[in-house]
Structure 1
Amino acid sequence: MTRISILDHDRCQPKKCNYMCIEYCPGVRMEEDTITIDPKTKKPIMSEELCSGCGICTNRCPFHAISIINLPEALEDPIHRYGQNQFELFGLPTIREGSVVGLLGPNGIGKSTIIRILSGELKPNLGNYEDEISWDDIISYFKGNQLQKYFQNISEGNLKAVHKPQMVDLLPKFVKGKVEGLLNSVDQRNKLDSVTHALELDSIMGREIANLSGGELQRVAIAAAVLRDADFYYFDEPTSWLDVRQRLNAVQVIRELADEGKSILVIEHDLAALDAISDYVHILYGQPGGYGVVSQMRGVRVGINTYIGGYLREENVRFRKQAIEFQVRPPSAAVDAEVLAEYSALEKSYDGFKLGVDEGQVQHDEIITAFGPNGIGKTTFAKMLAGVEKPDTGKIQKKVKISYKPQYLVSDYSGTVQEFLYTTAPNYGTNIFKTEIMKPFLLEELLEKKMDELSGGELQRLSVAISLSQDADIYLFDEPTAFLDVEQRLRAARAIRRVTESRNAAAIIVDHDIVFIDYISSRAMVFTGEPGVEGHSTSPMDLRSAMNRFLSEVGITFRRDKETRRPRVNKKDSYLDREQKEKGEYYYLKS
C-alpha cells in the first residue's frame, strides 16, 4: 500500500513543540533520516520511503499538523503534487464537447486544482515536484487518452479557456469602472443584450463594480465569462450569493453554451443546481488537504445519488460511513405546541424600500427557514428579530435571547482562532462544546490559524459554531451555507438541529439552497414582492405549502428522486413540469 505524509505548514510550530515528531519517531531513534529539518523553513520533512506508518508522530504532534495517509492500492501515479509532504491529486475529469461536466466533492479535495490545470494556469508535474516537466512528457503520459490532444493544444497555444473564479468578492480589487464598461469590453460573442437580460443585470449596468453586492458580483462574473469566446469554460461555484430564481437563470445561461457545442466544467455545492446544470458528474474523494482522487464519469442523476450513498460501486470505495437520508415531511395537523416567541405584524421602511411581515410564532424545538429573492427583506426581518433594527410598526411581543450570525462575515481580529474562541465562545473547552460544536464543524484543524488568514468556508464554519455556542432561545442564521461544501452543509444542519433540540430552543435560517432547506426545515416563511422596492413575508407554515407558494411565483417545479428522495428541478415544459403546474404541486406530487 502506498503511503503519503502530509504536513500542514500553517499549523506546524516547531518553536513551541521543539520537534516532538522527531523526538518520538522510531525511525529517527534507529538513526534513519525518517524525519529531518528543512534548513530554509525550519519545518520537519518526512520521508515517505522510510516512514513505517506507525502514526506516533501524528498522535504526538500537539498542533495536529501531521497526517500519515495510506492510499488505496488501485491508485496509479499522481497527476500533480504541490511539493514534499503536500497535497497530491490523482486523475483528471473527462472533457466532452457540447456537455456540462460537474465536479462534486468536499473543499480541499483538489477541484480548484483541476480547473487550474485544465485552464492552463497550472502545469501538471505528474508527481515530480523537484524537476521541471516538459509538455512532451505530459502529452506522452496521456497517450491514447482524450486528454492527450487537449494538453497538446494547450502547449501549442491553440486552446482558449475561460475561468470564472470562486472568490467573486475580490473582483472590485482587480476591475474598476462600471458594469457596462466591463461587459462591453469582453463581449466577443455579440450576446451582451441576451446575457444581461437573462441574468437580470439591466438595472445595474450603470453601477460601479465597487458598489455591487455579492450576488450582483456573481452574476456579473458569470456574464463576463459567458460573453467571451473560448473553447472551454470553467465555472467555480457559480451560484454562491444567488437566490433560487437567479441560480436557475445562471443554469440556463451556462447550459446555452453547451447547446452551442462548447465544453464546460462546473464546481458546485448546491445539489439542485448541480443536477440542473450538469450532463455528467465526477465524484472526488480522498482526504481534504492530503490527497484527492477523481472517480470515473457518471450520468448526473446516478453520480449525485452515488455521492449521497457514499459508496463507489465500480471502484469499490466507501468514502462515507452512512448515506445521507432525506425525509418527506407532509403537512401535519395543527397541534398546541409550546410557543417560544411571537411577534405582531411588523413594518420597516428605508429610502425606496418597504417590508411588511405577517404576525407569527416561533415554537420550541423547531427550525424555521426563510426564503425568497435577494433584496426582498429577509435580512431586514432577521435584524428586527435580533434587535439589531427596530420595526417602524409592530413589536416582538415575547422577549427572547437571540444569537445572530449575519450574512456577510468580517473579522478584524488579528489573533488565532483558539484565542478568538476563548473570548467569544462561553463554553469553549467543555465536553459539550467539543461534542456539539468542535467536532461537527471541524474546528480543531483551525485552532492555530490566524483569523485574518481563514478562507470563506473556514470563516463561515467558525461563525456558525460561535453562534451555536451562545446561550440563546433562538439561533438566527443568515445564509449559513455560503462557501460550504455539501458535506459541511449537512453537518451544519445536523449540528443546528441537535443544539436547538437539546436546549429546547429554536432556529431561524435564511438560505437559498433548496436541498439544505428541505433537509433541515420544520416550517418555512415565504418572502415575495419586488426586490429592492417592496417585500412581504408570510407567517411560518409547513414546508410543502411554503415551497408551493414560492415556486409558483418563480415558475419552477421540483420532484422527488425515487431513490434518494432528494429534491430535483424539473426541466422547463417537460411532462412532469406541466403535470405538476396543472395540479398546483410545484414542490413535489402527493404520494
Structure 2
Amino acid sequence: MRIAVVHRDRCHSKKCGTECIIYCPRVRTGDETIVIGEDDKAEISEELCVGCGICIKKCPFDAIDIITLPVEQEFPTHRYGKNGFALYGLPIPVEGKVSGILGPNGIGKSTSVAILSGQLQPNLGGETGDAESWDLILRQYAGTELFDYIKAVSEKGVKVAVKPQYIDGIPKVFKGKVEDLLRRTDETGRLDHYVRELSLENVLEKNVDTLSGGELQRIAFTACLSREADFYFLDEVTPFLDIYQRMAAARLIRELAASRPVMIVEHDLAILDLLADTVHIGYGKPAVFGIITRPKGVRVGINQYLEGFLHEENVRFRDHQVVFETRSHNKTVERETLLSIPSMTKSFPGFTLTIDGGDIRRGEVLGVVGANGIGKSTFANLLAGVYEPDAGSGKMERTLKVAYKPQYIKAGSDATVEELLRAATRRFDTSYYQHEIIEPLMLAPILQSPADTLSGGELQRLAIALCLSQDADLYILDEPSAHLDVEQRMKSVRVIKHFAEGKEVGVLVIDHDMYIIDMLSERLLVFEGEPGNRGAAYGPFGMQDGMNRFLGNLGITFRRDKSGRPRINKVGSFLDRDQKSRGEYYYSTPDNE
C-alpha cells in the first residue's frame, strides 16, 4: 500500500518550476498523476502514482513524500485530507493501568489522544478530510478491544483530562495567582495532597506569568490530576523537572492509575520504564504516516524500540540500534586539562552557591546533575562570564571562549532557521557542518521556516546547533533534551560526543534525563544542598562514583538489563535492597533478566 503526502507548508508552486509535474513519467504519458490544485499546492493521485520517486528528488523544497507502508493496513484511523498525514491504529486505555506511547514527535500521538478524548471524530482515511458517521466507525471497530471505548466516546460518555505537551501557553490564557488557577481545577478534593507532594507551597502566591518552566510544568500536571475524569492523558510530564520532581510525579501517576486509566507520552525512558505497565510503539515517518502497535510489555517494548525492530510485526523501522556502552564508565581516558575551576562562591539574596573546584578536559563531555534551584545554571553562568565570583573567592580564567545554550529558549526572531545558522557560522556550506550538525539534528526540513513558528522540539534542536556553531573552547548545554523525542535525543547525544572529541573542546551538559547523562558523560559533577537556599558542587567524579553519590542522595538504585540499558529498581524490591546494602546504586553489570 502506497501513500503520497504533500507537505503544504513547504509546497510553493509559485516559487518553483513545478518540477514535480514536469519530470513525472506518468504525466508525460498524458495522465494527471500530479496537478496544481486551487490552493496552488501540488496534488498527487495515489491510484496513478507508480512510486518512482522522481518528484521527491526534483522538488526544491522537499515538500513531497511517497511511502510504501512497511505492513499491510486494513484502513487508516484518520487522515488529514488528500495527500495529508495518515494515522493507523490507536492505543488502548486500560482500567487500572498506565499505558505508554513511545515514538517520535509527529507520528500521530496527539491525533490519537484527540480521537480518544472525543475532540476529533476519525474519518477512516476519507480524502475530503470530513469525519465519517459514528455508525460506520463503530462497524469498523466491532469485535475489537476498542469497541466499547469508541462507543462511549460516540455517546459523549467519556470525560477526559489532558495535560498538554507545551505549557508555555498557560500564562496567555490565565492571568492571576497560581492558587486561583488550581482551586478552579480542583474537582477531586485532592489538590492539597498534590501541592504537598510536588512542593508547590512556595508557588501558590505567585502570578502564573512569573513562573519558570519547571514550575509551569508542575502546575499543569497538578491541574490535570485534580480534574474528575474517566481517562487521563499526560503528554510529556518531565521537561524542566529535576529527577526528584520526576520521581514524585511518577508516584502520583501510579496512585491515580489504581482507579482510572492513564495514558502517557514520555521521552524520558527511565521514567517511562518505571511508570508504564504496557507501551504502544508509534513508528513510521514523522508528518507522513504513523502506525500505533498493539500494547507490549514495557521492558520488551522499550528494548524493541531501541533495537529498531518489532519482532511480532516483523518490521524494522530504524537502520541502527541504540547501544548503551558500559565500557566507557570503566576506564579512564587521559585528556589534557582545558580549564581549572577554582574553589569559589557566589551569593544572591537568600541563596549561596559553593564550588569545590575541579577541572574540565579537552574532548570530554562532563555531565552535571542535581535538583532544580540548587545552582547548576548559576555555575554555568559563572563559567560563561555572565556572573563574577564573590570577592575573596577564586577567580575564573577569562582567556577561554564559552558558548552557552540556556535552559529556557525563546525564538525572538522571524528570521529563518538557515539565516540564523548562517549568521552564527561561516562553515554552513561545508560538508562537515551539513553531515555533523544539520543532518543528525534533522534541521534540513525546517531551514526555510521562521524561528518564531517552530515547535518546542524544533526550537531546541536549533538552539543546540546555534551553540555548537560558535567558535569556542567550552560549550555549555543546559537541558538539551527538553521537548526532544527519544530518536532526537539519541541523535543529539551522538552529535555532542562527536563534536567534543572531533574538535578537542570541552562540553558541559546539564540534564535530568538519566539515559542522556549515562550515554553522554565521561565524568560527573554532582550538586547537593537545599533548593532555593544553598547549593554546593562536588567533583568531577568518575561515572561510577558520581552516580553512586547522586543516586544515594535520591534513594533509588539502577540496574542494567541484558541490552545494557539502565533501569530503575522498584523501591523496596530485592534488587533495590541488595544494591543499597552494597552501596551500588549505579549498577554497571548487566543482569540476566
TM-score of the pair, normalised by structure 1: 0.97
Residue 299 (1) aligns with residue 297 (2) = yes
1:134 aligned partner? 133
Conservation of the 8 A alpha-carbon contact between 1:342 and 1:398: no
Residues in 1 aligned to 2:330 and 2:578: alpha-carbon distance in whole angstroms = 25
Matched to 1:163, the amino acid is V
Residues in 1 aligned to 2:131 and 2:95: alpha-carbon distance in whole angstroms = 31
Q: CA deviation at 1:469?
A: 2.1
1:147-193, Cα deviation, whole Å (9 max, x unpaired): 11112111212211111100112111112222222222222221122
2:491 aligned partner? 491
My pick for the range that moved more, 195-204 or 161-170, is: 195-204
Conservation of the 8 A alpha-carbon contact between 2:342 and 2:396: yes
1:178 aligned partner? 177
2:235 aligned partner? 236
Q: Aligned ranges for residues 2-401 of structure 1 at < 5 Å?
A: 2-39=1-38, 41-130=39-128, 131-259=130-258, 261-329=259-327, 337-392=335-390, 393-397=393-397, 399-401=399-401
* SS across alignment from 2:586: coil
Q: CA deviation at 1:415?
A: 2.2
Residues in 2 aligned to 1:409 and 1:237: alpha-carbon distance in whole angstroms = 17
Residues in 1 aligned to 2:204 and 2:417: alpha-carbon distance in whole angstroms = 40
Conservation of the 8 A alpha-carbon contact between 2:374 and 2:531: yes
Matched to 2:444, the amino acid is E
Residues in 1 aligned to 2:412 and 2:96: alpha-carbon distance in whole angstroms = 45
Matched to 1:81, the amino acid is R
1:536 aligned partner? 536
2:512 aligned partner? 512
Q: CA deviation at 1:278?
A: 0.2
Conservation of the 8 A alpha-carbon contact between 2:71 and 2:315: no
Q: 1:57 to 1:579 in 2, by over 3 A?
A: same
Matched to 1:525, the amino acid is L
Q: 1:158 to 1:331 in 2, by over 3 A?
A: closer
* SS across alignment from 1:379: helix
Q: CA deviation at 1:426?
A: 2.5
Residues in 2 aligned to 1:240 and 1:357: alpha-carbon distance in whole angstroms = 26
Conservation of the 8 A alpha-carbon contact between 2:417 and 2:446: yes
* SS across alignment from 2:124: coil
* SS across alignment from 1:108: coil
* SS across alignment from 1:539: strand
My pick for the range that moved more, 241-250 or 172-181, is: 172-181
Residues in 2 aligned to 1:452 and 1:84: alpha-carbon distance in whole angstroms = 28
Conservation of the 8 A alpha-carbon contact between 1:341 and 1:399: no
1:236-276, Cα deviation, whole Å (9 max, x unpaired): 001111000100110110111111x2101100000001001
* SS across alignment from 2:10: coil
Q: CA deviation at 1:532?
A: 1.1
My pick for the range that moved more, 176-185 or 523-532, is: 176-185
Q: Percent identity?
A: 48
1:443 aligned partner? 443
* SS across alignment from 2:101: strand
* SS across alignment from 1:282: strand
My pick for the range that moved more, 125-134 or 350-359, is: 125-134
Conservation of the 8 A alpha-carbon contact between 2:121 and 2:131: no
Q: 1:590 to 1:435 in 2, by over 3 A?
A: closer
Residues in 2 aligned to 1:402 and 1:12: alpha-carbon distance in whole angstroms = 39
Residues in 2 aligned to 1:150 and 1:459: alpha-carbon distance in whole angstroms = 36
Q: CA deviation at 1:511?
A: 0.4
Q: 1:334 to 1:305 in 2, by over 3 A?
A: closer
Q: CA deviation at 1:398?
A: 6.8
Matched to 1:294, the amino acid is I
Q: 1:334 to 1:129 in 2, by over 3 A?
A: closer
Matched to 1:227, the amino acid is S
Q: How many residues align structurally?
A: 587
Residues in 2 aligned to 1:171 and 1:37: alpha-carbon distance in whole angstroms = 40
Conservation of the 8 A alpha-carbon contact between 1:80 and 1:90: yes
Conservation of the 8 A alpha-carbon contact between 1:511 and 1:517: yes
Conservation of the 8 A alpha-carbon contact between 1:580 and 1:589: no
Matched to 2:475, the amino acid is Y
1:457-490, Cα deviation, whole Å (9 max, x unpaired): 1111111112112222211101101110111111
Matched to 2:559, the amino acid is R
Q: CA deviation at 1:18?
A: 2.6
Residues in 1 aligned to 2:15 and 2:334: alpha-carbon distance in whole angstroms = 57
* SS across alignment from 2:508: strand
* SS across alignment from 1:67: strand
Residues in 2 aligned to 1:579 and 1:132: alpha-carbon distance in whole angstroms = 56
Residues in 2 aligned to 1:328 and 1:483: alpha-carbon distance in whole angstroms = 26
My pick for the range that moved more, 8-17 or 312-321, is: 8-17
Q: CA deviation at 1:443?
A: 1.3
Matched to 1:303, the amino acid is G
Residues in 1 aligned to 2:328 and 2:437: alpha-carbon distance in whole angstroms = 30
Q: CA deviation at 1:132?
A: 3.7
Conservation of the 8 A alpha-carbon contact between 1:187 and 1:228: yes
Q: 1:396 to 1:182 in 2, by over 3 A?
A: same
My pick for the range that moved more, 474-483 or 64-73, is: 64-73
1:433 aligned partner? 433
Conservation of the 8 A alpha-carbon contact between 1:341 and 1:398: no
Q: CA deviation at 1:332?
A: 5.3
* SS across alignment from 1:14: coil
Conservation of the 8 A alpha-carbon contact between 2:421 and 2:469: no
Conservation of the 8 A alpha-carbon contact between 1:426 and 1:470: no
Q: CA deviation at 1:335?
A: 6.9
Q: 1:397 to 1:415 in 2, by over 3 A?
A: closer
Conservation of the 8 A alpha-carbon contact between 2:476 and 2:508: yes
Conservation of the 8 A alpha-carbon contact between 1:348 and 1:354: yes
* SS across alignment from 2:84: coil
Q: 1:243 to 1:21 in 2, by over 3 A?
A: same
Residues in 2 aligned to 1:235 and 1:407: alpha-carbon distance in whole angstroms = 22
Q: 1:359 to 1:76 in 2, by over 3 A?
A: same
Q: CA deviation at 1:590?
A: 6.1
Matched to 1:164, the amino acid is K
Q: CA deviation at 1:50?
A: 1.0
Residues in 2 aligned to 1:378 and 1:90: alpha-carbon distance in whole angstroms = 43
* SS across alignment from 1:169: coil
* SS across alignment from 1:17: coil
For the aligned residue pairs, the C-alpha RMSD in angstroms reads 1.5
Residues in 2 aligned to 1:16 and 1:420: alpha-carbon distance in whole angstroms = 22
Conservation of the 8 A alpha-carbon contact between 2:122 and 2:131: no
1:574 aligned partner? 573
Matched to 1:582, the amino acid is S
Q: 1:73 to 1:478 in 2, by over 3 A?
A: closer
Matched to 1:460, the amino acid is Q
